[in-house]
């Protein structure tokens, strides 16, 4: 019913309505607000004025709820003949290179982050002719999850549930296919020690291991919302060809570090579109940054 209502009032009004609700909800969630600001301040404090932190963290929450608006509008607006008018074209030369790689069965991994309207990236990939298997984490709300999966699969991309990824992804890459996934998670109990936006984190080695095992190219990309009129832009921040790490003493670490730097560049282009409120660097660091102002300065290198 909400989707029908949004379709009737149009994108501009739908986004304004969602924004109003998001800002109200954000003010009613003090713990989430404090965590969002603490993360943003610690990661980008040296690049921002202190007064910029709170507005960026709040706008990031608005963008997160706008993702729901995107999904509800996409059903009516996004089609194979319309996606270019909404900014869904993968930029050149990366689009042509990815299509050529598909034709010669060159395995590829497309990695992104919880940035912008990431739910729409699979739709745009398929409409660009890029056949990808997309890893997804099912939502707890089964009705919303069913809607989101249907929208994500509009252009023909295969959706791979997270728990099936260890079995399915090797099959796809071995056949010369393309896999897309969100790859900026903190791996609390396993992974390699590194940093993300200057803060310590543990990152799973899965992307690096898959790239190394299957000689896969790695494309670092994201989708950014341009305004409140259902307009987007796909940005590619790095392409790691498989021959670039072939002679590295630790190919897995090379790939992991390189793609993380690409994701950092994506976030820095527009920090209002990154989800600062989730425990990107782990619960313990999130609690420390939120509780202890002096820890923020230490973590940010001030």
The pLDDT, as a whole number, for residue 163 is 93
For 211, half-sphere exposure in the C-beta direction (CA atoms, 13 angstrom radius) is: 31
The pLDDT, as a whole number, for residue 87 is 94
**Segment 8-19, tens digit of pLDDT:** 667 888 899 999
Kindly state the average pLDDT of the residues 231-243.
96
Q: Where does residue 41 rank: exposed (0-12), middle (13-18), buried (19+ CB within 10 A)?
A: buried
Q: How far is CA 186 from CA 38, 162, 203, in A?
A: 17, 15, 5
For the sheet with 158-161, list strands across it: 158-161, 132-136, 178-182, 108-112, 217-225, 232-240
- Using alpha carbons, select from 143, 144, 145 the residue that is nearest to residue 162: 145
Q: Where does residue 164 rank: exposed (0-12), middle (13-18), buried (19+ CB within 10 A)?
A: exposed
Q: Radius of gyration of the chain from Cα atoms?
A: 19
> How far apart, in whole angstroms, are the C-alpha atoms of residue 105 and residue 98?
10
The pLDDT, as a whole number, for residue 7 is 66
**How would DSSP label each residue in 152-171?**
HTTT-PEEEEGGGHHHHHHH
Kindly state the average pLDDT of the residues 237-253.
93
196 phi/psi in degrees, rounded to 5: -135, 120
> 181 with 208: CB under 8 angstroms?
no
Cis peptide before 264 (omega within 30 of 0): no
Enter the pTM of the model.
Answer: 0.91
- Using alpha carbons, select from 15, 198, 197, 227 the residue that is nearest to residue 113: 197
Give the chain's count of helices (H) and strands (E): 12, 8
**Segment 27-80, tens digit of pLDDT:** 999 999 999 999 999 999 889 899 999 999 999 999 999 999 999 999 889 999
> How far apart, in whole angstroms, are the C-alpha atoms of residue 289 and residue 37?
9
CA 104 to chain centre: 27
> How far apart, in whole angstroms, are the C-alpha atoms of residue 253 and residue 255?
5
> How far apart, in whole angstroms, are the C-alpha atoms of residue 174 and residue 98?
17
- Using alpha carbons, select from 140, 136, 167, 130 the residue that is nearest to residue 152: 136
Kindly state the average pLDDT of the residues 146-174.
94
CA dihedral 189, 144, 150, 119 (to 10 degrees): -50
Residue-range domains of the chain with CATH: 2-300 (3.40.1130)
> How far apart, in whole angstroms, are the C-alpha atoms of residue 83 and residue 71?
14
> 64 with 25: CB under 8 angstroms?
no
**Segment 77-125, tens digit of pLDDT:** 999 999 999 999 999 999 999 999 999 999 999 999 999 999 999 999 9
């Amino acid at each position: 019913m909400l989707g029908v209502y949004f379709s009737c009032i149009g994108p501009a009004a739908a986004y304004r309505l969602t924004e109003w609700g998001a800002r109200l909800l954000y003010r009613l969630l003090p713990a989430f607000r404090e965590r969002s600001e603490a993360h943003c301040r610690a990661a980008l404090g040296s690049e921002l004025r202190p007064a910029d932190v709170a507005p960026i963290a709040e706008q990031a929450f608005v963008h997160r709820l706008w993702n729901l608006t995107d999904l509800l509008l996409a059903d009516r607006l996004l089609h194979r003949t319309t996606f270019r008018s909404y900014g869904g074209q993968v930029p050149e030369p990366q689009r042509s290179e990815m299509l050529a790689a598909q034709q010669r069965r060159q395995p590829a991994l497309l990695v992104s982050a919880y940035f912008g309207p990431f739910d729409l990236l699979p739709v745009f990939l398929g409409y660009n002719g890029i056949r990808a298997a997309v890893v997804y984490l099912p939502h707890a709300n089964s009705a919303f999850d069913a809607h989101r999966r249907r929208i994500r699969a509009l252009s023909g991309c295969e959706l791979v549930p997270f728990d099936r990824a260890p079995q399915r992804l090797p099959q796809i890459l071995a056949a010369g296919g393309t896999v897309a996934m969100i790859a900026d998670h903190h791996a609390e109990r396993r992974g390699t020690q590194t940093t993300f936006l200057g803060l310590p984190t543990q990152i799973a080695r899965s992307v690096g291991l898959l790239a190394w095992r299957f000689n896969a190219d790695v494309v670092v990309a994201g989708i950014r919302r341009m305004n409140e009129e259902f307009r987007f832009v796909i940005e590619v921040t790095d392409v790691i060809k498989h021959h670039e790490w072939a002679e590295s003493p630790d190919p897995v670490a090379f790939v992991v570090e390189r793609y993380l730097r690409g994701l950092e560049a994506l976030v820095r282009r527009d920090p209002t579109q990154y989800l600062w409120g989730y425990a990107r660097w782990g619960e313990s660091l999130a609690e420390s940054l939120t509780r202890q102002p002096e820890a923020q300065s230490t973590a940010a290198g001030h």
